[in-house]
Amino acid sequence: MKAVNRYIIVDKIKEKPKTVAGLELTEKLNSDNRYLKGRVISVGDQVNGIIEGDIVYYDKHAGHGIQWKDKLYYVIRVEDIVIVE
């Protein structure tokens, strides 16, 4: 599987549940975070500054899911990435 143009394929990284005063917040209550974290699987040929294996933060409303070999990946545009670790 290879991304093309200005698209990036990411594998979403599940965040550990946050706790407040010893109570674990559910994913629904923890939804105030606007950005998701993912590992870059493939980058398109028009993407600069991001390579495979980078950890990125991207808008949670960006892109769409794609099933590949029984695993769910996300296809996003490079413009939706806000941070590269």
**How far apart (Å, rounded) are the C-alpha atoms in residues 7 and 79?**
9
The CA-based angle 38-43-44, given to 5 degrees, is 145
**Confidence band, pLDDT 50/70/90 cuts, at residue 31:** low
Q: In the chain, what's the furthest Cα-to-Cα distance? A: 47
* pLDDT for the residue 33: 74
Residue-range domains of the chain with CATH: 7-84 (2.30.33.40)
Q: Tell me: the pLDDT tens digits for 34-82?
A: 899 999 999 999 999 999 999 999 998 999 999 999 999 999 999 999 9
pTM, to two decimals: 0.81
Query: Is the sign of the CA dihedral 25, 20, 80, 8 positive or negative?
Result: negative
Those residues whose C-beta lies under 8 Å from the C-beta of residue 21, and which sit 6 or more positions away, are: none
